[in-house]
Structure 1
Amino acid sequence: MKTPMKLNATTVQSKSIQIYDRLDANFYSNASVGASEQIEHLSKRGVKMTTIGAMGSVSMPARTALARAESLEDSLPYLRPYDVFDYIPTAADHVSVPRNKKIDSFRIKTGSILQTRSGRNLGPCTLADDVLAQFALSDDMIRIHVEEERDRLVLLAFLKTSLGQALIRRGRSGSVIDHLTVSDVEAVPVPVFPVEVSDAIGSIVGDSVLLRQQGRTALKAALKEVENLYPISECTTWTHWSMQAQVCEDRLDAGYYHPMVRNGKQQLLKAGGVSLGTLATAALPVRYKRYYVEEVYGRPIVSGRQLLQPEPINLRYVSDRSFKNTDDYEIRSGYTVFGAVGRSEGRQAWPALVTADRERWLASNDVMRLVPNSDVRPGALWLAVATPQVQSQIKALSFGSVVDHMNPWDVESVIVPVFNDSLAARVEQAWDDLAQSTILIQNATSELEKEIQRLGG
């Protein structure tokens, strides 16, 4: 018996048919068209409208190739567009200050709303805090500057609602890759909410922004302490070295025997380091058949990249019938997780600590799980894996002719430092702050969704 085709239904005003001069159902069932109809409906009910352009200024740097910084040259750490959505934004490169004449236009400014403007996942946005303001960012994100703090915070929450996202995507164009222009963003209509609503939403979003900055700052401070405890003094740009054949084990790939990897391992051993397997159990489940479903019918499932994001981009949901044993794919509060499949020169191996808000979420078979022993603090395990010398060891385990992979038993063999409870507690508090920040912004968005529905009648 064939499964009946699911039909999408929507109501369209006859006026819209005249405006768009189209009759195809697919066009009118598009969320962007529905959003325009919703804005018109709100206006007819007396809701005052403004636009992003009227609220503030919208800009983006001129498209240009940025010159990379040379050694010892004055430079700025550089982020790729989607790096701004990570828990801990990490520089993808460094760009030259003196050789990029318009470098100031690429600097992130605290308080700016950063809006993605291209790509298949066009739509996500975030607000720049003091941590993000330390970086330069490409022209692939549009900057929205709103002077009034409350209006800025409410706008951020509105852009995260389903209506806001549909309106942002409304202006996209491009035959292959979707793009937005500054004028597209300026023209996005925004309802003017009652003062009491704006005050309440602004307060929640403000608390969220502060908690995220607080958590990021604390984690960066902890990582800085680790760097001071285990400094890397040697050259990191080795291109060739020599070694005896008897040292080679069952691998012949050069990266596995890189001097930085070997020396870092010895450094940690001398400082009292232990094998990761003495602190935690590593696990990597097998591949599964994916049955993706709508949110109400499944559970969220994250990839190695998404687990690094407080608000996972393009989060999908999967049915439990995808797995023979669902428990193997669950992640629990206190686990340290990282992407075990991907590019070793990228974000592969960079860890996240699972917090209570993601308890019993699912993670793909590309995600390595580190389950801490009962006497090991989760914060200490996360920090150990994030240590540069450990990162180099884990990345060196990668194998594969096209896509890099690694084995859990190999991961358990790397040497890691042991940290005290005080430092571990600070790390855990920082991750709790990040989790609470996400909960608050989700609450603010949900409340604004309810207000939009109320205003619409």
Structure 2
Amino acid sequence: MVNSAAEYLDNAKIEVVDVPKDDINWSTVSLKDVINKGKRLEASVFDIEAKHARDVVKSSIYGYKSININNDLIECYTRPRFKIIWVKKSEYPIYQPTSMLDVYPTNDGYISRLTKTNIEALRVHKGQILITCSGTIGNVSYVSDTLDNKIFSHDLLRLRFKEDIDNGFFYTFLKTDFGRSILVSNTYGSVVDHIEANHINEVIMPTPPKILKQKIHDLIVKSYQNRDESNRLIDKATELLIDELELPTMEELYNEAFSYSKEINTFNIKLSELNGRLEASYHVPIVDVIEKYLKKNSTLIRLDNKKLTKDIILAGIFKRNYVQKGHGYPFIGGKEITQLNPVTDKYLSKLTHKSRYEKELRVEKNWILVTDRGTIGKVVIIPEHMSGYAVSQNVLKVVPSCNHGYLYCFLNTEYGKTLIQKETYGSVVNMIDNKSLGNVKIPIIHNDKKIQEINDMILIANNLRYEAYKQEQEAIDIMNDEVLGI
């Protein structure tokens, strides 16, 4: 028995993870700091990562400086708290801070003009740096055409440097591990739980020559210009598709669907149309109205038809075995898929999860992702730099047979999302699965040249996102290699 066990252990595959020395966080701590912390010696008490980050910046060959709000910045402010009065529709769409990370942000609702705050002062402006102040603090974005003049909630730090090149430079610095660590800690290395404007005075940053700052700033500006152009192409392709289908607005379709029932939405369903579903949300008339108009100028084909898709993948629930960065598959969920460069600290073990990764979790360029629970129906097309990521079981993976861009374009419209959400089921947690998503009908317009034009525009837009990613990564590499010297 003992010999058998020993023999088994000798032959067993054991995952050995070597921790690189460079990944060990270390720093010196003064005796005064130890006493102030209650004479405790645990590294976690002093946030060694933040102290080490400050040491790295102070060691830069170009020197460093503490930011001075009065001397270095044109503006640096948050807005006062206020109670939002939500309305169904208004001229004031509002975005939550998390939306600023999305490559194509969508508003989180509409606020009433009666809301007791200066709504115009909530708008962000081109060239500003945006930093999340609470929750997950320290997330950063740069305002380009996509976000310009959009209304954001109060809890977002807006800042702009007097020297324009410092904006792209500081943004890039905060995108590094060292810059973020410094931002979310105070001068003593203690992690803060909320950022105010005056906290920027405690941030130090390196001071390289202007030519190096300009190089980094220009890369960030070009990166965001490519994101803007990508979004414009998606809008143009969407507009072209809707024009070809001759679709009324969603508001007009809703008015038609519920024109006979203003106070209570009631409607009749034939027994033959139940499909085993008794939920009113499944049989809501808006879907019938949308499909009625789609049929006028297209042929409707189910998404699971092999002419359109090779597969729709629903991953199973599994226990995750995480390993360190560099030793596993980068793992993201539905919250991160809408970002240009999803940031994750989760890496699935290649030894434990290789089979599941290959069959259910891996995604490839131009595949389409659809969130299947929570906020159902968020649609994303995978850019090249996300190819090979592991995506959680909360996201359905659509593998197109052809016309990847065209399929994405329709599913990403309000009409497509409405058809997706119709398939929702569940009582406590709403969700969809691969079979229900396969029921969604895709309109194939009769003009093949227009299909190709729409498809090509989306694929070009997707490639622009890859270019934007590479430009931002180049800026970060210059910051790490040439400025910080790591």
- TM exceeding 0.5: yes
Aligned pairs (5 A) from 1:37-48: 37-42=55-60, 47-48=63-64
SS at match of 1:352: strand
Q: Distance between the aligned counterparts of 2:184 and 2:160, measured in 1?
A: 19
Runs (4+) of structure 1 exceeding 6 A deviation are: none
Task: Identify the residue that residue 303 of structure 1 maps to in structure 2.
Answer: 333
Q: Distance between the aligned counterparts of 2:180 and 2:187, measured in 1?
A: 12
Task: Identify the residue that residue 399 of structure 1 maps to in structure 2.
Answer: 425
Question: How many residues are matched?
Answer: 443
Task: Identify the residue that residue 247 of structure 2 maps to in structure 1.
Answer: 230
Q: Distance between the aligned counterparts of 1:172 and 1:243, measured in 2?
A: 66
Structure 1 residues 163, 244: CA separation in 2 closer, same or farther (over 3 Å shift)?
closer
Greater gyration radius = 2
Of 64, 70, 73, the residue aligned with 2:82 is 64
1:102 CA displacement: 0.6
SS at match of 1:122: coil
1:148 CA displacement: 2.7
Q: Distance between the aligned counterparts of 1:204 and 1:52, measured in 2?
A: 25
Give the aligned residue type for 1:156. Y
Structure 1 residues 417, 149: CA separation in 2 closer, same or farther (over 3 Å shift)?
farther
Q: Are 2:331 and 2:344, in contact at CA under 8 Å, matched by a contact in 1? A: no
The alignment status of 1:208 with 2:223, answered yes or no, reads: yes
Task: Identify the residue that residue 102 of structure 2 maps to in structure 1.
Answer: 86
Identity across the alignment (%)? 19
Task: Identify the residue that residue 55 of structure 1 maps to in structure 2.
Answer: 72
Of 357, 382, 385, the residue aligned with 1:326 is 357
Q: Which moved more, 1:46-55 or 1:302-311?
A: 46-55
Per-residue deviation, residues 358-417 of structure 1 (Å, max 9, x unmatched): 2221111111111111xx221111112113222111112111222222121221121112
Q: Are 2:238 and 2:410, in contact at CA under 8 Å, matched by a contact in 1? A: no
1:96 CA displacement: 3.1
CA RMSD between the two structures: 3.0
Give the aligned residue type for 2:72. M
Q: Are 1:288 and 1:323, in contact at CA under 8 Å, matched by a contact in 2? A: no
Q: Are 2:84 and 2:111, in contact at CA under 8 Å, matched by a contact in 1? A: yes
1:335 CA displacement: 0.6
SS at match of 2:144: coil
Structure 1 residues 172, 90: CA separation in 2 closer, same or farther (over 3 Å shift)?
farther
The alignment status of 1:191 with 2:191, answered yes or no, reads: no
1:214 CA displacement: 1.2
1:113 CA displacement: 0.7
Of 229, 249, 254, the residue aligned with 2:280 is 254
Task: Identify the residue that residue 452 of structure 2 maps to in structure 1.
Answer: 421
Q: Distance between the aligned counterparts of 2:162 and 2:47, measured in 1?
A: 36
Give the aligned residue type for 1:55. D
Task: Identify the residue that residue 13 of structure 2 maps to in structure 1.
Answer: none
Q: Distance between the aligned counterparts of 1:268 and 1:277, measured in 2?
A: 18
Consecutive unaligned residues of structure 2, counting only runs of 5 or more, are 1-8, 10-15, 259-263, 446-450
Aligned pairs (5 A) from 1:152-301: 152-171=167-186, 178-228=193-243, 229-231=246-248, 232=250, 233-235=252-254, 239-246=264-271, 247-272=273-298, 273-278=300-305, 279-280=308-309, 281-301=311-331
Consecutive unaligned residues of structure 1, counting only runs of 5 or more, are none
The alignment status of 1:27 with 2:52, answered yes or no, reads: no
Task: Identify the residue that residue 3 of structure 2 maps to in structure 1.
Answer: none
Aligned pairs (5 A) from 1:345-356: 346=375, 348-356=376-384
Q: Are 1:377 and 1:421, in contact at CA under 8 Å, matched by a contact in 2? A: yes
The alignment status of 1:341 with 2:369, answered yes or no, reads: no
Q: Are 1:214 and 1:430, in contact at CA under 8 Å, matched by a contact in 2? A: yes
- TM-score, structure 1 length as denominator? 0.88
